[in-house]
């Protein structure tokens, strides 16, 4: 039977790539995120090319009631939820003393607290079925820091703590929960921060790519969206059933140093 997969923040970038990878295996998908309605509808339609069904839910990841409704819609439409991918995320780059308070709150809400809400809503169903896979898209910034990203680094470090704690709670219920820690992947989220990073550091945009983003990535290459999606598929596979409460880095060697 086709698995049901929820991917938050899947109208773009890594989330859309993960949704595509599960769809290619015939899974039913619930996609989520912002963007032009016609583009979202085209993405949703394309996800159905392999035989699974795809629905869109527009829950705002800063709104707990909307997040609960997203999980309820997945369970109601498809009769249960097999894989939850917490991926929605935003970034803001600024020295800490100038960091806008509303941006701090938004980043903590979307990049950390929304995963608490999705997990909280999905867990009763997963426990009852004695099966479930939760995959949190964290970051190399869950393990190491960079300056000017205080909220993002705090949220991503937090998601690893959430991953470990929940893993211990649900391990005997057939539910695993892990994080993926990518290095830099060239998505809209990264493209948008290039001008701000250039400004904050007083360097050119080309230097941001070569001297900041890829400086610590030993391969000197961006990670591909499809490579992150392949790790998500693996963590959701039978082969990964004893992997829980941990992370897999996919960062071109960044955090080896
Ligand atoms: P992206 O900007 O391409 O996609 C982000 C997605 O989140 C979009 O679908 C957007 O609509 C959605 N989103 C944003 N705010 C939302 C909200 N309030 N409610 C619902 N959806 C919302 O970014 P991406 O690079 O694909 O990032 C995806 C995840 O991967 C994030 O958690 C990010 O921190 C993480 N990540 C990215 C990189 C990278 O280099 N791109 C590296 C490590 C980790």
Question: Using a 6 Å cutoff on CB, does residue 88 contact ligand 1?
Answer: yes
Task: Give residue 128 CA to ligand 1 midpoint distance, Å.
Answer: 30
Q: Give the chain's length.
A: 257
**Residue 13, pLDDT above cutoff 90:** yes
Determine the pLDDT at residue 143: 98
DSSP tag of 178: E
pLDDT of amino acid 189: 85
d(CA 156, ligand 1 centre) in Å: 12
Q: What does the mean pLDDT of the chain come to?
A: 97
Span 35-55, pLDDT tens digits: 999 999 999 999 999 999 999
Closest CA to 7 of 27, 35, 37: 27
> Is the CB of 250 within 6 Å of ligand 1?
no
Q: Is the CB of 11 under 6 A from ligand 1?
A: yes
pLDDT (0 to 100) of residue 147: 95
pLDDT at residue 149, as a whole number: 96
Q: Look at residue 79 and tell me whether its pLDDT is greater than 90.
A: yes
Element (H, E) at 181: strand 175-182
The set of catalytic residues is: 152
Q: Which of 6, 8, 9 to mutate for ligand 1's pocket (most ligand atoms within 8 Å of CB)? A: 9
DSSP 8-state class, residue 185: B
The pLDDT value recorded for residue 193 is 87
User: Can you read off the two tokens belonging to residue 230?
Assistant: 């392949």
Distance of CA 149 to the CA centre of its chain: 17
* Coil vs helix vs strand at 146: coil
Ligand 1 centroid to 17 CA: how many Å? Answer: 11
Distances in Å between the alpha carbon of 24 and those of 20, 28, 85, 234?
Answer: 6, 10, 16, 14
Atom 44, ligand 1: residue with shortest CA distance: 139
Tens-digit pLDDT profile for residues 146-189: 999 999 999 999 999 999 999 999 999 999 999 999 999 999 88
Determine the pLDDT at residue 42.
98
Q: What is the pLDDT of residue 136?
A: 99
Place of tokens 């903590």: 108
pLDDT in tens, 179-210: 999 999 999 889 988 998 899 899 999 999 99
Q: What is the dihedral of CA 160, 163, 164, 167, to 10 degrees?
A: -170
Q: Is the CB of 61 under 6 A from ligand 1?
A: yes
Ligand 1 centroid, distance to 205 Cα (angstroms): 21
Reading the block at residue 166, the tokens are 């929940």
What is the Cα–Cα distance from 169 to 217, expressed in whole angstroms? 34
CB atoms within 10 A of CB 213: 20
* Centre of ligand 1 from the C-alpha of residue 110, in Å: 9
- Ligand 1 pocket residue status of 64, Cβ below 6 Å: no
87-136, pLDDT tens digit by residue?
999 999 999 999 999 999 999 999 999 999 999 999 999 999 999 999 99
Q: What pLDDT is recorded for position 172?
A: 98
Using a 6 Å cutoff on CB, does residue 17 contact ligand 1?
no
> Atom 3 of ligand 1 has which residue's CA nearest to it?
13
Q: What is the pLDDT of residue 1?
A: 81
Ligand 1 lined by 93 (C-beta under 6 Å):
no
Whether 211 contacts 144, CB under 8 Å: no
Domains within the chain, CATH numbers bracketed: 4-185+224-250 (3.40.50.720)
Ligand 1, atom nearest to 109 Cα: 18
Round to whole Å and give the CA distance between 117 and 100: 24
């Amino acid at each position: 039977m086709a698995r049901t997969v929820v991917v938050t923040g899947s109208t773009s970038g890594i989330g859309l790539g993960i949704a595509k990878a599960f769809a290619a295996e015939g899974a039913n998908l619930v996609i989520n995120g912002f963007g032009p309605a016609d583009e979202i509808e085209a993405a949703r339609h394309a996800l159905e090319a392999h035989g699974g069904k795809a629905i869109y839910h527009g829950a705002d990841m800063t709104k707990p009631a909307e997040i609960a409704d997203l999980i309820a819609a997945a369970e109601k439409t498809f009769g249960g939820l097999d894989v939850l991918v917490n991926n929605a995320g935003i970034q803001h780059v600024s020295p800490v003393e100038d960091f806008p308070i509303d941006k701090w709150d938004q980043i903590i809400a979307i990049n950390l607290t929304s995963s608490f809400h999705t997990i909280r809503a999905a867990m009763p169903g997963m426990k009852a079925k004695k099966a479930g896979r939760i995959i949190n898209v964290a970051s190399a910034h869950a393990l190491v820091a960079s300056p000017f990203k205080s909220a993002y680094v705090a949220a991503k470090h937090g998601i690893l703590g959430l991953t470990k704690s929940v893993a211990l709670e649900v391990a005997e219920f057939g539910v695993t929960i892990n994080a993926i820690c990518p290095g830099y992947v060239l998505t809209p989220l990264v493209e948008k921060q290039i001008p701000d990073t250039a400004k904050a550091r007083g360097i050119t945009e080309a230097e941001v790519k070569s001297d900041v983003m890829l400086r610590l990535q030993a391969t000197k290459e961006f990670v591909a969206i499809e490579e992150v999606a392949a790790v998500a598929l693996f963590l959701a596979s039978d082969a990964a059933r004893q992997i829980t409460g941990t992370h897999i880095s996919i960062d071109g060697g960044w955090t080896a140093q």
